[in-house]
A and B are shown apart, each in its own frame.
Chain A
Amino acid sequence: MQRYLLRRFLFSLFAIWATATLTFFFIRALPGDPVTTMVGNEGDPANIEKIKNRLGLNRPIPVQYFFYLKSIVKLDFGDSIYLRLPVIDQIKTAIPRSLSLAFVSFVIAILIGIPAGIISATRRYSIWDHGATLIAFLGLAMPGFWLGVLLILVFGVWLGLLPVFGYMPLFDKDGVHFWAWFSRLILPAIATGTGSAAILARQTRSAMLETLSQDYIRTAYAKGLQEHVVIWRHAFRNSLIPVITVMGIILALLLNGVVIIEVVFAINGLGRLLVNSILGRDYPIVQGVILLTAVLFILANFIVDILYAFVNPRIRYTD
Chain B
Amino acid sequence: MSQESQAALEADLGLSRRNRRGFKIYARRYSRDKRAMFGLVVLILFVLAAGYTQIAELDAKWDIGIVSNIPYDPQIQGFELLEGPTLGHPFGTDNLGRDVLSRLISGARVSMIVGLFGLTLAGLVGIPLGVLAAYYGGWVDMIVMRYIDIQWAFPNFIIAVMLVGIFGLGLQNVIFAIFLAYIDDFARVIRGMVLAIKEEDYILASRALGVTDARLMIKHIFPNALPPVIVLSSVFFAAAILLESGLTFLGLGVSPLTPTWGSVLNDARPFFSSAWWLATFPGLVIMMVVLSTNFVGDALRDLNDVREYDSSVTGA
Contacts and interface: CB of A to CB of B under 8 A. Distances in A.
Interface of A: 11, 14-15, 18-19, 23, 26-27, 30, 137-138, 140-143, 145-147, 149-150, 152-153, 157, 252-253, 255-256, 259-260, 263, 274-275, 277-279, 286, 290, 293-294, 297-298, 301
B86 to A, nearest CB: 21
Contacts of B182: none
A255 B158 CA distance: 9
Prevailing SS type, chain A contact patch = helix
A305 B146 CA distance: 16
A105 B242 CA distance: 20
A290 B265 contact: no
B287 A138 contact: yes
Given A27-B166, A141-B291, A301-B153, 11 more contacts: A19-B150, A30-B167, A140-B290, A143-B246, A147-B283, A153-B279, A259-B158, A259-B250, A260-B249, A294-B154, A297-B154
Given A15-B153, A259-B161, A143 B287 contact: yes
Nearest to A149: B279
Interface in B259-316: 265, 269, 272-273, 276, 279-280, 282-283, 286-288, 290-291, 294
A109 B290 CA distance: 21
B252 interface: yes
Interface of B: 146, 149-150, 153-155, 157-158, 161-162, 164-168, 238, 242, 245-246, 249-252, 265, 269, 272-273, 276, 279-280, 282-283, 286-288, 290-291, 294
Contacts of B157: 256, 259-260
A153 B161 contact: no
B246 A260 contact: yes
Contact of B287 (A27, A142, A149, A277): A142
B127 to A, nearest CB: 23
Contacts, number: 107
A15 B279 contact: no
Q: Which 10 A-B pairs have the closest CB atoms?
A: A146-B283, A141-B291, A141-B290, A252-B155, A278-B165, A256-B155, A157-B273, A256-B157, A286-B165, A15-B150
B43 to A, nearest CB: 13
A27 B280 CA distance: 38
A137 B164 CA distance: 30
A293 B66 CA distance: 52
15 contacts: A15-B153, A27-B166, A142-B283, A142-B290, A147-B283, A149-B283, A153-B273, A157-B272, A252-B154, A256-B155, A256-B157, A259-B161, A259-B250, A278-B165, A286-B166
Nearest to A260: B246
B93 to A, nearest CB: 18
A142 B283 CA distance: 8
B272 A153 contact: yes
Contacts of B273: 153, 157
B114 to A, nearest CB: 15
Contact of B250 (A140, A153, A256, A260): A260
Contacts of A259: 157-158, 161, 250
A11 to B, nearest CB: 7
Contacts of A145: 246, 249, 265
Contacts of B288: 141
B166 A275 contact: no
Contacts of B242: 143
Contact of A150 (B155, B279, B294): B279
Given A149-B272, A153-B273, A157-B272, A290 B162 contact: yes
Contacts of B246: 143, 145, 260
A146 B158 contact: no
A30 B166 contact: yes
Contacts of B294: 137, 140-141
A208 to B, nearest CB: 20
A293 B250 contact: no
A278 B154 contact: no
A26 B155 CA distance: 19
Contacts of A279: 251-252
Contacts of A278: 161, 164-165, 252
Nearest to A11: B149
A145 B253 CA distance: 15
B265 A137 contact: no
A18 B150 CA distance: 8
B167 A275 contact: no
A152 B272 contact: yes
A297 B153 contact: yes
A36 to B, nearest CB: 14
A157 B166 CA distance: 37
B272 A297 contact: no
A146 B162 CA distance: 22
Given A157-B272, A260-B246, A279-B251, A146 B287 contact: yes
